[in-house]
Chain A
Amino acid sequence: MSFIIYALLNTAFVMLISPLFVSLIKKVKAYTQGRQGPPLLQTYYMLLKLLKKERVYSDNTSLIMRITPYINIVCVLVASLCVPVVYIPAQIAGFGSIILFLYLLVFAKFFMALAGLDAGSTFGGMGSSREMTVSAVIEPVIIIVFAALGLLLKTTNLYDMFTTSLNSSLFINPSTLLISLSLFIILIVETARIPVDNPETHLELTMIHEAMILEYSGSDLAMMEMSHAVKQTILMAVFINILIPWGLTSAPNALTVSISAVTFIIKGMVLAVAVGFFESMFAKSRLFRLPNLFMLAFFFSFSTILFELLK
């Protein structure tokens, strides 16, 4: 029962704030480029508009094209249950298992890539090919990062991780710096941002994520965008809850929950701004340069492990 409440609260909250972060990042980038940028609520408007529009399907497409948006949004939402932002609930049914969390995201990615191939357009194929490549190469990094965290926090469950990091503030821990770097890189990669991917472009060959959903339109597109936004939010949440967990609570009542919600929004906006600046500092790098970036992350997290072993 309590879990259902948590689920409703958490999901609703995440869905509510995700678009905000998206447009915030856009805004920051616009400022750095000397433009004024869209209003903060722009993403909400866009989603509503898309919901109203009809869908257009290519003749080549099969049912994969049609079911993918549902699968995507569902997987991401269920994944979001693994990352508590309003409050940390009690363990149930192994939610919060790292592997489950990651593989739900992979599930979404898998079908998105299929959908990219479905229409038989050159862009879609290229997008899925690159997406799968990038995700394959980043995978070991992610696992190692979480392994390092597991080594640090002596657990492999996100809920427990957050709780421990809440109780013992990790910020002063030397390893944490390294971990945070790797986590940040993962965030950049998974949310398809520069230098890995370029969310603005639509026709250039640099794009990955956008290329896959190129064929989508109307309410389907709305779902895709939404799931992308939510995914970004929960990844940010992982970053935040592990490094700066203050405000998050494991003893839910009206006050604490609202506090943690508010603090999360603030922290999230800070992080979003950081991401925005980070994006504007770099240029899109070649696809085959990416492994170097990943190796960097890998190195950081592996050296964390070494630190832990040496201690």
Chain B
Amino acid sequence: MLLAYIISGLVIMGFMLLRFFAPARRADYLNSLAIAQSAIFLILSIASLIYIPQPSFFFSRYLMIDQLAVYGALISCGIFLLASFYARGYVRRLVELHDIEVRELRLFYAAYNLLLIVVVFAFYCNNLALFWILLELTTILSAVLIVTLNAKENIVAALKYVFTASTAMLFSIIGLIILFALTKQATGVGTLNWDVLMQQAASMSPRLFTFAFVFIFIGFAAKAGIVPFHTWLPQAHAKAPSVISVLLSAVLLNIGIFGVLRLYAVAHQTAAWHDVSLILIGFGVLTIAVAALSMLPRGNVKKLVAFSSIEHMGFLLVGIGLGTPLALFWVLFHILAHALVKTLLFFSAGILHQQYHSNQFEDMKDVFTLQPLAAWGLIVGSMAIIGVPIFPVFLSKLNILTELADYSLPVLFIILLCFLIVAAAFAVILIRTIPQTGEIKHEPYRVSVSMKLPIMFLFAGIVILGVYFPGGLHNMLVGIVNSLGF
């Protein structure tokens, strides 16, 4: 199965790299390849969900397909597919504006496709060390994607990203090694395979496990944008082209969270899980608070959204830390909801940026007349992301908070206040921006269908998901929660 992934991936890479085959509209040609790949991967993931017995292992148990992995892969492939469609119009425009040079296109799309492959395999990892490696690879690739744009700030942003993320990641190697030694001590032979860890967790010394966990957590936290290792995130998201911001926010952050989730699943088997929960919830609350407060004075739409991603990652961390089956169920749902809404927000922001060549809110005049779709995308997205009803975030928010009440009421109250601030931040921006009218009239930039369609789709998607809970999804999530041993 996984071979199928690799082969198809490589074939398409091949098509991309064929030097002699260089059609006139290279952008569209490469883009079609990207679409093709994400489509194929989506299909493959669905297929592996249906036809592959879960869990099943590959490549001497380095890789594994279980429901959690497939869930992650499905979300990522879906987002990638939408992004690829969006990219068709978006990148064409970028080329017109010389924001990106034609000669960079191959690099761009190659990195794009590689990223997809790496992401999918990161989800399919069974071995934590391998997972670590792929995680580091995603950093490299996304950094490349960020710097393909013609701007110095992008390089700065990328450097910050690379350094902050990978310095933290080094610590998680230390953690992994300790974990390895721990298993070795527990059962003669050391291993970092997740399934084995799950089985042997009980026999490890809880103190040492926590010790290891803390170190591993540092790295994953950095990738998931957890305060205080989140510092790279806002700039990277803001500077990257919106397509890439989508991937960074809706896909890459999830990988970090999935890593934490798997680790926590192991921790839950040991006696150490109370301490671990404490750590996670502590970091979660800190993250939410810092993100919420930093959102208030933001005038840059993409930065605002980026901070809200940080805040949501913190919230997910809290949810994981609670460690009750219900909480985890809703955490998984929240990941999906967050991915969809964030995609919508960044797509709209992308359109607005191409209209006004700026992410600053005060530059956006006459939004409703120029870009009604994007404007509504922004409004609906904000409403959805602050978690008001008929949008899915509300459900997961309410339920995770309900679980939190059993853990601690004061914490619950603090988080609620932070959410209030977040809501205020979004409201301030939108209400000040959306109605403002300008004297100098821009000519409306005609948004291509390939950019409109994904947005339409997302509108429908989030509304439906907000009021209708598919039974299949329900069973799947329940299955995942069980397979994680809760």
Chain A directly contacts chain B within the complex, with at least one CB pair under 8 Å: no
